Amino acid sequence: MDDNTPDEIFAELKTKHIGAWGVAQIATGTGLAVYAMWVGVLQPGFRKVPLRLQVPYIPASKAQVQNVMTLLKGRKGGLVDLGSGDGRIVLEASQQGLTPAVGYELNPWLVRLAHFKAWKAGYHGKVSYRREDLWKVDLTECKNVTVFLAPSVLSLLQEKLQTELPGDAFVIAGRFPFPDWKPCRIEGLGVDRAWAYSIKSQREHTYKKK
């Protein structure tokens, strides 16, 4: 699905001056180093994004990923991850048979990291990572959508999802629930919890309120 090969990615990294922060970005996956990189490397990718819509990169834990996959069990079709970070949700979804699996991420370093992880797992060409603004992504044919975003973003994203997604679509939020939606299923506890939403049910609920 992607045109960039691992060799091209490595070549690009070699020809560009990444600096200490860039090296750290490739080397680390969790912890304080990630937050530090947000200030030095990751945040510049979001300078054109309004402050309230900026979401620092915090990778999903194994438990969070597992809870999302549990909620997706039995679902058919492809998957779109909005704000896909290092691509771990997309990769796991593809491994579970949800194809095509596509991640949309605005930060170029995270897109490169996702490409590298997919290549390392033997899934290069089987998953897709695109550097695009999630607000501009056409969701009209998406059956399964996952999001790990801040509440301030989720409150605005609700309208886009409810307007664009097909009636049989399924949306899963990790870490934070949608503020105005009622989940059909919940998996996990505490910070590892994930919430599943039926677009059909949300539209029916909205219609009844009018």
Element (H, E) at 79: strand 79-82
- Maximum CA pair distance of the chain? 58
Q: Quote the pLDDT of residue 7.
A: 53
Above 90 in pLDDT, residue 139?
A: yes
Strands 170-174 and 127-130: unpaired
Q: Could you read off the pLDDT of 33-44 as tens digits, one per residue?
A: 444 444 444 444
What's the one-letter identity of residue 78? G
Checking if the pLDDT of 13 tops 60, the result is no
Q: What is the dihedral of CA 62, 89, 41, 9, to 10 degrees?
A: 120
* Claim: this prediction has a pTM higher than 0.85: no
pLDDT at 16 over 50: no
